[in-house]
Amino acid sequence: MKKNALANLACLAVLLLLSGCSNNGTPVPVDETPPAVEEPADEPTQPALPGAVFVSVENHTQARPQSGLDKADLVFEMDSEAGITRFLALFYTEAADQIGPVRSARSYFVQIVKAFDSPFAHAGGSEEALLLLKSLKIKNLDEIYGSGAYFWRSKDRKMPHNLYTSTELLVQGAEKRGYKLLPYTPLPEGTATGGTEAASCSLKYADNKYYKYITEYRYDGAAYAKFVNGEPFTVSGGNQITAANVIVLIAQSKWLGNQDPPLTDIKIVGKGQAFYFTQGKVYEGEWKKTAPEAHFEFTAGGETMLFSPGKTWINVIPAEAALTYTTAE
């Protein structure tokens, strides 16, 4: 009998626990809410490359459509010769299987690259550029002078518009030469105060009977789409170039008449007027670069300019007259 009584008491205790009753028979509320589970914090996106690399990409009509420019984090567009622009593209967060056509270096490209201390891929260069590459001790990946293994020639285009490379090959080349690869630090991010609504901007590099090149950026509410002579500027594969930010720098420049065609010399170490297009607005300010080793300083109203996260295109033009933009006012 004692064993049965003990068994009955044990069963009763279990029933009381399961029914949520206290020992005096009063129902006890049962919290059926599942315990809170902390969501893991989003991990920052890891860059595809162990460090940033620069590539000189041509923009002759026979070079279009280019490859890889849509993967670049930062692109400088500058006059190279007689109104024909050239791109200096930085790759870090995205890999690119094909980049090009790759062309020669310019002295102002070299002075920009120096501040980043990143490997620079190109095919030869102007006389001044080649001297600066040595004197500034650039991490040089020159297809003509010693780095040909990290480039290839395409058979579907004629020279010199058929030289290509990839981020994989450039990283291999940098590591083979013992170059330290450094991360790319984006421009200061945030929302700037003030500004004027601006739906688009247009930049005139050349417009004559021999050559026309007018590039435009149109804001669609999320990004700036790039156009050239009124047509979408696309890369191989059909993707149109877009950017989160467009920066326009006014810099002194001149054509070197002793060259054929005349090369363009741009004073990129110095200071000048700047226009920043971001989040559908335009801000007027100033740019400054005190030395090849120094990064650009971008200010508006005396304060450091803030930009949207994402890709940035920087266009350098010789005079404010080459820039027009539409506003909501």
Taking residues 57-86, what's their average pLDDT?
96
Mean pLDDT along residues 211-224: 96
Q: What 3-state DSSP class applies to 8?
A: helix
Classify each residue of 89-118 as buried b or exposed e, where b means 16 or more C-beta atoms within 10 Å of its C-beta: bbbbbeebebbbbbbbbbbbbbbbbbebbb
The total number of residues shown for the chain amounts to: 329
For the four alpha carbons of 245, 273, 270 and 290, in that order, the dihedral sign comes to negative
Mean of per-residue pLDDT scores for the chain: 89
pLDDT of 8 higher than 80: no
Answer yes or no: are the C-beta atoms of 106 and 78 closer than 8 Å: yes
Q: What is the CATH number of domain 53-176?
A: 3.50.90.10
Rounded Cα distance, 11 and 319, in Å: 92
Residue 244: pLDDT band by 50, 70, 90 thresholds? very high
- Angle among Cα 127, 174, 84 to the nearest 5 degrees reads 40
Residue 238 — pLDDT band, cuts 50, 70, 90? very high
Give the separation between CA 136 and CA 263, rounded to whole angstroms: 21
pLDDT score for 10: 43
- Residue 38: pLDDT band (50, 70, 90) is low
pTM of the full structure: 0.86
DSSP bridge pairs for 243: 224
H or E, element range at 168 = helix 167-176
- The mean-pLDDT minimum among 12-26, 133-147, 258-272 falls in 12-26
Using CA atoms, how far apart are residues 246 and 314, in angstroms rounded to an integer? 6
Q: In this predicted structure, what is the pLDDT of residue 17?
A: 37
Check if the beta carbon of residue 99 is closer than 8 Å to that of residue 32: no
What residue segments make up the domains of the chain, in order of their start? 53-176, 196-327
| Residue of 245 and 31 predicted with greater confidence | 245
| Lowest mean pLDDT across 119-133, 166-180, 260-274 | 260-274
Pick the more confident residue, 36 or 111: 111
Q: Rounded to a whole number, what is the distance in angstroms from the first to the last CA of the chain?
A: 97
Q: Is the pLDDT of residue 7 over 50?
A: no
Report the 10 Å Cβ neighbour count for 250. 20
Among positive and negative, which fits the CA dihedral 278, 198, 239, 102? negative
d(CA 67, CA 238): 10
* Max Cα–Cα distance, the chain, nearest Å: 119
Higher pLDDT, 323 or 42: 323
Tell me the torsion sign for CA atoms 271, 247, 184, 99.
negative
For residues 95-104, average pLDDT: 98
H or E, element range at 109: helix 107-116
**pLDDT computed for residue 3 by the predictor:** 44
Backbone angles phi, psi at 137, to 5 degrees: 55, 50
Strands 224-228 and 242-243: antiparallel
Cα–Cα distance between 119 and 139 in angstroms, integer?
A: 4
pLDDT at 20: 45
Continuous segment of H or E residues that includes residue 191: none
State the residue for tokens 């060259």: 259
Residue 255 CA to residue 21 CA, distance in Å, equals 93
- Report the alpha-carbon distance of residue 269 to residue 20 in Å, rounded: 78
pLDDT higher than threshold 70 for residue 261: no
Q: Is the pLDDT of residue 142 over 90?
A: yes
State the pLDDT at residue 254: 82
The CATH architecture of the domain made up of 196-327 is 3-Layer(bba) Sandwich (3.50)
